Chains A and B, each alone.
Chain A
Amino acid sequence: MRVSGARIRAVSAAVPSHRRGHDHWPDGAKVAKFIGIKERRVAPPDVLPSDMCYEAALPLLERYPRDSIDCLINITQAPDYTVPATSCILHERLGLSKGCAAFDVTQGCSAYTYGIWIASCILAAGGAKRVLLLVGDVNSIPEEDIQPSDKATEPLFGDAGSATILDADPDAHPMHYVNGTDGSGWDFLVVPGSGRRQFGATTKLAMKGVEVFEFTMREVPPVAQRALAEAGWRVEDCDAIVAHQANGVILDSIRRKIGATEEQFVRGIEYFGNTGGPSIALAIVSEKVEPGKWLLVGFGVGMSWSALAFDAEGVVIYPLVQMP
Chain B
Amino acid sequence: MTRQEFISKVSALVEQEVDEETRLAAILTWDSMCAISFIVMADKDLGVSVSPPSLLQCTTVADLANLVKDRLV
A209 B32 Cβ-Cβ under 8 A: yes
In-complex Cβ contact of B52 among A31, A34, A211 (8 A): A211
| Chain B interface helix/strand/loop/mixed | helix
B39 A213 Cβ-Cβ under 8 A: yes
A209 B44 Cβ-Cβ under 8 A: no
Residues of B within 8 A of A211 (CB): 52
In-complex Cβ contact of B39 among A34, A210, A256 (8 A): A210
State which residues 203-241 of A face B: CB under 8 Å: 208-211, 213-214, 217-218
Q: Answer whether residue A47 sits at the interface, using C-beta atoms and an 8 A cutoff.
A: no
- A-to-B contact residues, CB < 8 Å: 31, 34, 152, 208-211, 213-214, 217-218, 249, 253, 256
Closest-CB distance, B36 to chain A (whole angstroms) = 5
Q: Answer whether residue B51 sits at the interface, using C-beta atoms and an 8 A cutoff.
A: yes
B52 A214 Cβ-Cβ under 8 A: yes
With A210-B55, A217-B49 already in contact, the answer to whether A249 and B36 are too (CB < 8 A) is: yes
A253 to B36: give the CA distance in the assembly, Å.
11
A253 B43 Cβ-Cβ under 8 A: yes
Residues of A within 8 A of B55 (CB): 210
With A34-B33, A210-B36, A214-B39 already in contact, the answer to whether A256 and B44 are too (CB < 8 A) is: yes
The residue in chain B whose Cβ has the minimal distance to the Cβ of A256 is B44
Interface residue tally on B, bucketed by range: 10 to 19
Closest-CB distance, B23 to chain A (whole angstroms) = 19
Q: Answer whether residue B18 sits at the interface, using C-beta atoms and an 8 A cutoff.
A: no
Closest-CB distance, B58 to chain A (whole angstroms) = 12
Q: Contacts A31-B33, A210-B32, A213-B36 known; list 14 others, CB within 8 Å.
A: A34-B33, A208-B52, A209-B32, A210-B35, A210-B52, A213-B39, A214-B50, A214-B52, A217-B43, A217-B49, A218-B49, A249-B37, A249-B40, A253-B44
Residues of B within 8 A of A152 (CB): 32
Closest-CB distance, A118 to chain B (whole angstroms) = 32
Residues of A within 8 A of B50 (CB): 214
A274 to B68: give the CA distance in the assembly, Å.
31
Chain B CB count within 10 A is highest, among A34, A210, A211, A256, for: A210
A93 to B34: give the CA distance in the assembly, Å.
47
